[in-house]
Structure 1
Amino acid sequence: MNNKKSLKINNKSDKPDNIVIRDHLIIEKCLNYENKLPCFMKDYFIYLKGSVAVSTRSAYLEDICFFCYYILHETDLTTSKDIKNISIEDFNNIKSRDVNLFLGDYCPRYYKEKENNTLIYENNNRALARKKSSISTLFKFLYRNEQLDNNITDGFNPIKLPKPQPDAIKRLDIDEVAIMLEITETGEGLTEKEKVYWEKTKLRDKAILALFVTYGLRLNELRELNISSFNFSRGEFKIYRKRGKEVLMPINKTCEHVVKDYMYNERTNSDNLPEDIKDALFLSLQNKRITSKAIRQLVKKYTSICMNTSRNNGYSPHKLRATAATSLIQSGFSIYDVKTLLDHDNVTTTQLYAAHKKNIKRDIVNNFEWIDEEDSDTKGNDKIDLNSL
C-alpha cells in the first residue's frame, strides 16, 4: 500500500496553483536540508528565507550540507558521528586553509561508493565559485551573529572564472530560426520515428519555439504557462520570473496565432483532463504538464535539424534566449530595451549579446570606403603585373 502523501496547497494568493506548488516543493526541499544540518545554523536559515530566492536558498543549503559531509567524513575537524551533531565549537576551529582544501583539492574531483560502483564527480570553476559563495555567506553570517570569533572568509582563495566572450555565445541566425519554425510545419529532416510523434505535437512544438525566440523566456517560465495566463482580448500574457516576480508581456500576432492554433486544434480539451491539469497550457502526450526534460529534447531536436548537425549538437532552450537577445539587438533595439524584455539583473549581461555581431570587422570596413568603386574603374586601364614585382 502506498502511504506517500501528495502536497496540497491552500492557495489564497492570486498566483496560479502550479506556481505556488512549485515554490512550496522547493521550500520542502529546503526544510529537508535544514533538518539534516546542525541546530546552531537556525538563525542562518531564517536569514536566508528573507534575503534570497527560494531556488538560491535551496542551492546554498545543498552546498552547506555537502561541506558538512566533507568535514565529517574527510577531515578530523569534528568528532561527531553525524552532520546534525557538528557543533559551533567545531566551526570555530575551522580555518581558511580548511575551506581552501575543500574547494581546491576535494571538490574538483571526488569519489563516492554506491552499491557495486565507484562514482566520480567533478566540479568546474563555476560550480566551485557557487560553493565558495554558499560557504562564505554562512561564515560571514555566523561571525556577524557573534557565533564565530573570526571572519575567515578573507582568507578564501580566489576562483578564476572565464570571462564571457561574445564570439562564444551560441545562438541561431535569423534564417535558421525561420527554417526551424518551418520544420514544425513540414516535418522535414525528422526521422520516421520522430514523425510519428510530430504528427501529434507539431502545433505545440511550434508554439513553444515561437515563444522562446520571441520573448527569450527561461525554460521554467515557459513550462509553467497556463491557459489562464493569456488574455487575448487585452493582447497580453502573464509570466512568473525568478524571485516570484509577476510580469505582463504583450503578445504579438505571430505568437497569438500559434498559441491559439495549438489550444483549439491540438491540445486535449480541458473537460477531459484531471482538475490539476485543466489549466496547464503545454501538455505531453500523456496529458500531463510537459516536463523540462521534454522541452529540452524537442528544442535540441529542431535546432539540430535547422543547423544541419547531429542531435547531440542541438541547442538548449537557453540558447534560444540568446537567439532572441541577439536578434532584437541586430534589429535595432537598444540593449536597455532588451534587458527589460529578458529580465537581466545587469545591463552588462545584455551587452554581451550586443557585442556578438557576426563578421563585425567585415561589416565595418565594407561600409567605410574611401574611394568610390566607379571612380576607380574609370581612371585608366593600367594594370599591375604581379609577376613582375
Structure 2
Amino acid sequence: MEKKKKLTVHNKSDKPDNIVISDQALIEQCLEVEAQLPVFMKDFFIYLKNAVALTTRHAYLNDILFFCKYLVLEGSITAAKNPYEISLDEFNKITARVVNYFIGEYCSRYIVENETSKKIIENHNPSLARKKSSLSVLFKYLYRDEKLKNNITDGFNPIRLPKPQPDAIKRLEIDEVARLLDVLETGAAFTDKEKIYWEKTRLRDRAIIILFVTYGLRLKELNQLNISSFNFSRGEFKIYRKRGKEVLMPINRTCEKVVKEYIELERPKSVLLNEESKDALFLSLQKTRMTTRAIRNLVKKYTAYVLGTTVENGYSPHKLRATAATSLIQQGFSIYDVQNLLDHENVTTTQLYAAHKKNVKREIVNNFEWLDE
C-alpha cells in the first residue's frame, strides 16, 4: 500500500494556508470525478474550472457522472460498461425525452443497494432542478463547442419550484436570541453531566454563536477563521466568501470581547498545538480545527434548548444567518445594507427577510401624518 504523501503549501497569495488546503481537497475530488467521465468532455471540464465556484463545479460533475451511470445502467443509448467508455456518437443520440425521463421519473425516486442494505433515495423539485441545471450547462456547452449536432435543452421540461415564502423562513426571534445567549452564559439549561463539557468550551461556543447572529456568516466562512484573520487594532477581520472573494468585516465591541476572551482564557496555547492548528481560531477538545460538522452540531444543540426540541430538530447555522438578517432589518437597517453584509447576490433574497418586519405598514403610516393634532 502506497504511503500517503504529506501535503505542504508554498503560498504566495493572501489566502490562508488552511483555505488553500481545503480548496485543494475539493479540487482533487473534482479530478477523481472527471477521470470517470468520457474523454470528449475534457474541454467542458476546463470551462467549469474557470466559470463557476469550486463547490458548484463539484456538484455539477457529480450530477453529470450520475447521469452517465444511468445511461450505462439503462442501456438503450450506449453499450458502454462504464461512463468513461461512452462515445461522442452515442451522446449525440440523447434526446430531450431521455433527459426528461431521467430527471422526472428516475431521479425522483430510486434505490441504492449493496450486499447488506437497500436505501430509497427520494428527490424533490429543488434537487431535480439542480440536476437539470447541471445537464443544461453540459449540453449547451457541447453544442456550442460543435460536439453535439443539436441543442436539446430547449426541450427540457420545466420544473416548478415553490415561490419562497417569508413565513416559511426559520429563524430565531430576538427574545429567543436573548435566551440563547443566556444559556451560553450560565449553562442553566444543562444537566450536571452536560455542564462538565460546557465548562470546557463555553467561551468558544459563545464566540461562535455571537459571530453567527451578528454577521450572518456562512458555516464555511466561520470554520475557516484564523487568529490571524483578526486585526483588533484596526477593528476588523477578514473572511473569504464564495469564489474566494476576500472581504474585510468591521468588528464591534461585543464580538471583539468574546473572541479575545476565548483566545486569552480558554483556547489552548500555541506551544501545545501542532503546526496545522496553531493559527486556527476555533479548536476542538482534541486541539485541532473544529470541523464544519462539529460546528453545525454545536449550533443545533444550543438552539434546541431555546426551542424546546430535540437536538435533531435544532436550528442549523444557516438559520442563524436568517436570524441575523431579520434582526438587522427589524432594527431599522435597509435591505441594501443587509444585502451587503450577508453577501446576497440578489436583493430579492434579502427582501424575503424584510417581510418579517412586523407591522411595517402601520409604522409607516403612523409616522407620516399630514395634519397635526
Counterpart for residue 196 of structure 1: 196
Q: Deviations over 1:86-129 (max 9, x none)?
A: 00111100000000000000001101221221121111111110
Counterpart for residue 127 of structure 1: 127
SS at match of 2:237: strand
Counterpart for residue 93 of structure 1: 93
AA in 2 matched with 1:65: L
Answer whether contact 2:326 2:356 (CA < 8 A) is retained. Answer: yes
Answer whether contact 2:329 2:357 (CA < 8 A) is retained. Answer: no
Counterpart for residue 319 of structure 2: 319
Counterpart for residue 338 of structure 2: 338
SS at match of 2:113: strand
Answer whether contact 1:282 1:289 (CA < 8 A) is retained. Answer: yes
SS at match of 1:36: coil
Unaligned runs of 5+ in 2: none
AA in 1 matched with 2:37: L
Matched, 1:292 2:292: yes
AA in 1 matched with 2:76: D
Counterpart for residue 241 of structure 1: 241
- Cα RMSD of the aligned pairs, angstroms, is 2.0
- Stretches (4+) displaced over 3 A: 358-369
CA–CA separation in structure 1 for the residues paired with 2:122 and 2:360: 37
Specify whether residues 336 and 194 from structure 1 end up closer, same or farther in structure 2 by C-alpha distance, changes over 3 A only. same
1:133 Cα deviation after fit: 0.4
Q: Deviations over 1:110-155 (max 9, x none)?
A: 0122122112111111111011000000000000000000000000
Counterpart for residue 303 of structure 1: 303
1:192 Cα deviation after fit: 3.0
Counterpart for residue 83 of structure 2: 83
Matched, 1:15 2:35: no
The correspondence of residues 64-75 of structure 1 with structure 2, limited to 5 A, is: 64-75=64-75
Answer whether contact 1:184 1:202 (CA < 8 A) is retained. Answer: yes
Counterpart for residue 347 of structure 1: 347
Matched, 1:57 2:61: no
Counterpart for residue 172 of structure 2: 172
The correspondence of residues 259-274 of structure 1 with structure 2, limited to 5 A, is: 259-274=259-274
Q: Deviations over 1:166-203 (max 9, x none)?
A: 01111111111111111111101123332121010000
1:266 Cα deviation after fit: 0.2
SS at match of 2:255: helix
1:9 Cα deviation after fit: 2.6
AA in 2 matched with 1:219: L
The correspondence of residues 352-363 of structure 1 with structure 2, limited to 5 A, is: 352-358=352-358
Matched, 1:251 2:259: no
1:51 Cα deviation after fit: 0.6
1:307 Cα deviation after fit: 2.3
SS at match of 1:146: coil
Counterpart for residue 143 of structure 1: 143
SS at match of 2:276: coil
1:74 Cα deviation after fit: 2.1
SS at match of 1:111: strand
Specify whether residues 323 and 39 from structure 1 end up closer, same or farther in structure 2 by C-alpha distance, changes over 3 A only. same
1:43 Cα deviation after fit: 0.6
Answer whether contact 2:33 2:65 (CA < 8 A) is retained. Answer: yes
Give the paired residue count: 372
CA–CA separation in structure 1 for the residues paired with 2:74 and 2:133: 21
Answer whether contact 1:225 1:280 (CA < 8 A) is retained. Answer: yes
AA in 1 matched with 2:23: D
AA in 2 matched with 1:314: G
Counterpart for residue 24 of structure 1: 24
Answer whether contact 2:183 2:189 (CA < 8 A) is retained. Answer: yes
Specify whether residues 194 and 359 from structure 1 end up closer, same or farther in structure 2 by C-alpha distance, changes over 3 A only. farther
SS at match of 2:84: helix
1:30 Cα deviation after fit: 0.7
1:83 Cα deviation after fit: 1.0
CA–CA separation in structure 2 for the residues paired with 1:9 and 1:240: 18
1:361 Cα deviation after fit: 7.5
Calculate percent identity across the aligned residue pairs: 68
CA–CA separation in structure 1 for the residues paired with 2:172 and 2:316: 11
1:367 Cα deviation after fit: 8.6
CA–CA separation in structure 2 for the residues paired with 1:137 and 1:202: 46
Matched, 1:278 2:274: no
Answer whether contact 1:229 1:237 (CA < 8 A) is retained. Answer: yes
State the structure with more CA Rg. Answer: 1
Counterpart for residue 214 of structure 2: 214
CA–CA separation in structure 1 for the residues paired with 2:349 and 2:42: 35
CA–CA separation in structure 1 for the residues paired with 2:37 and 2:94: 17
TM-score (normalised: structure 1): 0.92
Answer whether contact 1:169 1:356 (CA < 8 A) is retained. Answer: no
Counterpart for residue 385 of structure 1: none
Specify whether residues 189 and 351 from structure 1 end up closer, same or farther in structure 2 by C-alpha distance, changes over 3 A only. same
CA–CA separation in structure 2 for the residues paired with 1:75 and 1:299: 46
1:8 Cα deviation after fit: 2.7
Answer whether contact 1:322 1:353 (CA < 8 A) is retained. Answer: yes
CA–CA separation in structure 1 for the residues paired with 2:158 and 2:5: 45
CA–CA separation in structure 1 for the residues paired with 2:246 and 2:63: 29
CA–CA separation in structure 2 for the residues paired with 1:289 and 1:13: 22
1:362 Cα deviation after fit: 7.9
